[in-house]
Chain A
Amino acid sequence: MTQRSVQVLTSVVFLGVGRVFYNNNGPKESGIRPARSGHGYADESSASDSIGSAALSSASLQNFPYDTWIEVVATGTITLHSKPGSILNYTGPVPVTGHADAPNRNPCVLELTIQIPRTWPSTYAFGPCGGYGFVDTVRALGPVSIKRGVMPLDYVGECSPVNADCHWVDPGYQYVSSTAIPLYLNPTTASPHAINFATSHPQVRFTGSIAPRTVYVGGVAQTMLMTATLWQWIGADSTRDYPTGASPCQYPNGPDWTRACLFVPQESGRMILKAYAGGKTLTDAVTVQCLVAPADSMLNDSTNDFKSREELQDLIPQSVAVSYHELTGVAWKLSNGGGFNFRRYFDPAATECETQLPFSEFSPSKAPEAAATAYSVYHDHTKAKDQILFGCNDTITVNGRPMLPARNPADVRPDSLNAIKVLSEAPSSFDLDYVRDSGKRMFIMTSSGWVWKIDPPVITGASPLQTVFRAFGGNTDSQRRCTWVKKYIP
């Protein structure tokens, strides 16, 4: 505790020193920095600096690679002094809007202006000279800086018979900052969103957009701006990646609140959009996938960009990460067409041989919203056919003789059933029993890429209806083109 207090105090001291010696003229952190991707600028949504009281001082703020609406704020005053006899005979504070010179001379002195050389106009004031004003909202491109105006004009003999030093300013600072108006990427859309890639490859229109699309500046609606810096298509089976060029993806030309890309994917996959908006690089993605047949509303849930498929496919690697323990959960169907929501259930006794999902997990009290209904349960089978099962906790009784299966490859206890080979990843007898007893539909994700769906029997005692889908690992070209898209981790 003592050591930590000292460290904090030291940091405060150094910050204070840094502020005192801050240089107005050199490049600041707000300048251009190479991005990790090597093609852009560092994300920086705001910057601040101080500007000295001397005439023509300047301060650098942000540097925008693309058109960006920003709010610039300047605060504080400096003090101007005048000798008796000066034509501008004023001693007192000067706000950021400066001070009016005497008639027929400079219209304004010591005022701060926003300098954006790459835009037109390239200079903006904070308000009428000497008036109330400290903030402006402008469209910026390239470097943004603040510059102070000139001193009042002085003539020899004006306040002294021998020189013209009639005015001076106290040493001091005013503070300036700029902040990009925050913008957010709306969910990227794809039209069409579902394609049977086994038989057709139509053109897809991908659309990215920002929110809000307009803001009012001085009572005038202004369109907010985004720039698409990357459209990249990644095929789900990773065999046909198409880094997209610029030409098909610049709709419309010029800055706007929305951008579109026309592309002809050859297989299911994900289009990734990176866009510069609000002073940041934002990322979003949308998938285009084949629908499953026979249809299932959860697996074909394009409303939520097929998130159910991501959830199922996530089970296997996450199970492997916890010693192959099976994972389970409940899929809830939301009301009003809201798609599906997935609630994992943590089974502390799960092994790679089994997991138990209590029926209480279907109760309305566990629903994510009042009107949601439990659509299905789901879990995974972590070991593929021909692999060996370990770690089954439960005792297996063989003709009256209780035995415990081997827990790991080194388990050579005499009471261990060793080397249980997986003969099938298909739903087990116990899976079928669970569906029968719970009345709930079940999905099973297998490590070899099959997804089994078991529908409960309508008539008690009848065999459940089983359907199998191929999520990944298909052997045919058609299967591979319809590989389910896994979760995107940017």
Chain B
Amino acid sequence: MRILAIVIFGLVGLPLSSVGAQNTCHQADRYSAHFISVFKGMMGPEDSALRAHFTLPVVDSALVTLVSDPQLCARAGHAIDSAAYLLDPSRPIPPTNTNPLYVITIGNSFAVADLNYPNKNDYTVIFVFGSLWQFLGLGGA
């Protein structure tokens, strides 16, 4: 609950300039296929604890899809900005951008990955959000 409040505060508190440019949706490729495969692979009974960690419901595989709606992807950009602010309030807020994001719907929930900044880690950090864009946790895949 505290997290939710902070995230909402973060969203509301963003400077107006930050909404001038908006993130876009990344087109489908093998990275998006990988992320979709990962979340589809979490729907089995053996992964109930993992789903509970992210408060993710069991959904039909058909409901795990790549988002192409520009408004949802722009909102996903705001959401990861807010979550990043939550995790590190001391960091300066970077300029807004139009970088494409991988946004996956899992039923009514969302997962967002930003591959615009290469790093050497063997895992992509994925932000998981609820239906109201409340931050639910970080995943690696």
Chain A residues within 8 Å of B, Cβ to Cβ: 326, 351, 353-356, 381, 385-386, 389, 392-403, 405, 414-424, 426, 428-432, 463
- Residues of B close to A389: CB separation below 8 A: 123, 140
B122 at interface (Cβ–Cβ under 8 A)?
yes
15 contacts between A and B (CB under 8 A): A353-B122, A354-B120, A354-B123, A386-B49, A393-B120, A396-B125, A398-B127, A399-B84, A401-B93, A405-B121, A414-B87, A421-B54, A424-B42, A426-B41, A430-B120
Distance between Cα atoms of A415 and B88 in the complex (Å): 5
| Apart from A394-B119, A400-B95, A429-B115, 19 more pairs, CB < 8 Å | A353-B123, A355-B122, A389-B140, A392-B121, A396-B117, A397-B117, A398-B84, A399-B81, A402-B91, A403-B84, A403-B88, A405-B125, A415-B87, A415-B88, A417-B138, A419-B137, A428-B124, A430-B121, A432-B30
Q: Is the C-beta of B17 less than 8 angstroms from some C-beta in chain A?
A: no
Contact check: which of B38, B93, B115, B122 meets A354 at CB < 8 Å?
Answer: B122
Residue B2, interface by CB 8 Å: no
Task: Please name the residue on chain B nearest to A463 by beta carbon.
Answer: B30
Is A400's CB under 8 angstroms from B94's CB? yes
Q: Within 8 Å CB of B37, what residues of A? A: 424, 426
Q: B10 contacts the other chain (Cβ, under 8 Å)?
A: no
Q: Give the complex CA separation of A201 and B3 in angstroms.
A: 58
Residue numbers in A under 8 Å from B9 (CB-CB)? none
Is B23 an interface position by the 8 A CB rule? yes
Q: CB-CB < 8 A to B99: which residues of A?
A: 399-400
Cβ contact of B34, chosen from A392, A400, A417, A432, cutoff 8 A: A432
Interface mask (B11-51 → A, CB under 8 Å = 1, otherwise 0): 00000000000010000001101100111011000010110
State the CA gap A422–B50 with chains docked (Å): 9
Most buried by B among A385, A399, A400, A415: A399
Select the residue from A385, A401, A422 with max chain B CB neighbours within 10 A: A401
Q: Is B131 engaged at the interface, CB distance under 8 Å to the other chain?
A: no
Which residues of chain A come closer than 8 Å to B90, judged between CB atoms?
A: 414-415
The CA-CA distance from A400 to B80 in the complex, in Å, is 11
The answer, yes or no, to whether B126 is at the interface (CB within 8 Å) is yes
Beta-carbon contact of A398 and B114 below 8 Å: yes
Question: Which residue of chain B is the closest to A425 with respect to CB atoms?
Answer: B141
Asked if A429 and B138 make an inter-chain contact with CB atoms under 8 angstroms apart, the answer reads no
Contact between chains at A399 and B120 (CB < 8 Å): no
B96 CB to closest chain A CB (Å) equals: 8
Closest beta carbon of chain A to B95's beta carbon, Å: 7
- Please give me the residue from chain B that is nearest to A432 by CB atom: B30
- From residue A327, how far is it (CB to closest CB) to chain B in Å? 12
Query: What residues of B have a CB within 8 angstroms of the CB of A392 in the complex?
Result: 121, 123
Centre residue among B87, B97, B126, B127 by max chain A CB count within 10 A: B87
